[in-house]
Amino acid sequence: MGPGPGPHCLLVTPLVTSEKIVSVGRGIDIAHERFGDPEAPAVLLLQGISQQMLGWHEALCAELVTRGLQPIRFDNRDIGRSTHLSDAPLPDFAAAMAGDVSSATYTLSDMAADGIGLLDALGLPHGHVVGLSLGGQIAQTMAIEHPDRIRSLTSISTTTGDPAVGQIHPGTWEKLATPPAMTPEEAGEQAVAVLQVVGSPGFTLDEAEVRARAGAAFERAAPDRDGIVRQAVATIASGDRTPLLRGLDLPTLVVHGAGDPMVDVSGGRATAAAIPGAELVVYEGMGHNLPRELWPEVADRIAGLVQRAG
């Protein structure tokens, strides 16, 4: 995060002044918020593991609105105010890492179906998807499994599921291991500490804003460590998408940071190489977040992608 919004940015009021929660089927409710013109092309924004929809900043949504798009941000299952599968047995993360994924509560296919169910609930016949990290893997799965509903794909800071690419850099997990935050203030300090490890050293880090937004997310919905485990095991259980990505036929943008320590840039390169015609943009100085200074350019690229999709 850094200085204020770019020159194209306007303050916008969400189409729905307060967030809504809708049923998307299979016992799942999804909390979401829409911005801009309801007749504009819908762009679903999917966040990463453990991240609420607040991870998509209102100013970034404004950048998309000023380019004629209708961004829709939402909480994935097991985060924020969407359904938490708290009654399910906790998956065995260690076993999943060792290859036994039988304890997975759900897979990326289920999470992708949530996104399609949200389109259904909002009466939208199709949409465009923008996903970051875990959200990028879900977005890829939506494009693979629901090609009639997804018009374009933007895959940010993510990978293909192939264990040979996109791996976390050695020592990164150890730097991130902390006890659960118990107060908004602790959540804010932890968020700053995380970005100091995995963020974008080539761009500005507005620590005060990071603290404020992390504190607001803490107050909005209680952290759910078990939900994070369920999300993590879902990614492992879903396997390598590379052969299926090769069959995609839609405009695709792949964005990655050259210095991403959470998902090595090889994951982004492999994603772009697998999807026919995909555009790859690698930013020097960018880590495992989307710096504010890049929002106008990335919004331009997403708008161009949507335009090409027709």
Tens of pLDDT, residues 52-78 = 999 999 999 999 999 999 999 999 999
Residue 189 lies in a domain: no
Q: How confident is the model at residue 155 (pLDDT cuts 50, 70, 90)?
A: very high
CB of 309 within 8 A of CB of 128?
yes
Domain limits for position 79: 20-171+224-309
Residue 48 lies in a domain: yes
Task: Give the pLDDT confidence score for residue 310 in this predicted structure.
Answer: 85
Residue 228 lies in a domain: yes
Helix H or strand E segment including 281: strand 279-283
Q: How confident is the model at residue 298 (pLDDT cuts 50, 70, 90)?
A: very high
CB of 42 within 8 A of CB of 124?
yes
What CATH number does the domain containing 258 carry? 3.40.50.1820
Distance of alpha carbon 7 from alpha carbon 9, whole angstroms:
6
The whole-model pTM stands at: 0.94
Residue 151 lies in a domain: yes
Residue % of the chain over a pLDDT of 90: 93
Q: How confident is the model at residue 2 (pLDDT cuts 50, 70, 90)?
A: very low
Q: How far is CA 152 from CA 68, 70, 160, 182, 211, in A?
A: 15, 14, 17, 39, 33
Give helix then strand counts, H and E, for the chain: 11, 8
Number of neighbouring beta carbons within 10 Å of residue 37: 12
Residue 61 lies in a domain: yes
Residue 75: closest CA among 52, 42, 50, 43: 52
Residue 204 lies in a domain: no
**Length of the chain, please?**
310
Sign of CA dihedral 64, 70, 75, 81: positive
Residue 120 lies in a domain: yes
State the first-to-last Cα distance of the chain, in angstroms, to the nearest integer: 32
Could you give the number of structural domains in the chain? 1
Residue 140 lies in a domain: yes
**Coil, strand, or helix at residue 288?**
coil
